[in-house]
Amino acid sequence: QVQLVESGGGLVQPGGSLRLSCAASGSGFSFDAMGWYRQAPGKQREFVATITRDGRTNYADSVKARFTISRDNVENTVYLQMNSLKPEDTAVYYCNADRRTRASSGAYLTQNYWGQGTQVTVSS
């Protein structure tokens, strides 16, 4: 059973930094893509950043140049370095991981996993 456990959230002042970590356990494989999503109060969960197995990254426009996603494929861990944090970054941050496999029929299947989330609060 795959579990994703986030850590590193907390309370930080505007302009501060946090580094989130998400460690996957119970998996005997590497994920094709790992990433971060967030959900602010009263809003839908939104995309933040993803990174593929080979290191290709994608960021939401709102976090570009401020956030950096990285991963350790050996440890099956994904990180999110968050700099220059703003109050609007306040949200529960969720770790996500995808694994794409090919069935014997030739069809592709995607397994998707989510963590329980970690709270990030940016406030003075």
pLDDT digits (tens, 9 = 90+) for 63-106: 999 999 999 988 889 999 999 999 999 999 999 999 888 889 99
- What's the rounded mean pLDDT across residues 38-66? 96
Over 80: is that where the pLDDT of 118 sits? Answer: yes
Q: Would you give the end-to-end CA distance of the chain in angstroms?
A: 40
Q: Percentage of the chain with pLDDT > 90?
A: 78
CA-wise closest residue to 6 among 26, 24, 18: 24
pLDDT the model gives residue 36? 98
Over 90: is that where the pLDDT of 8 sits? Answer: yes
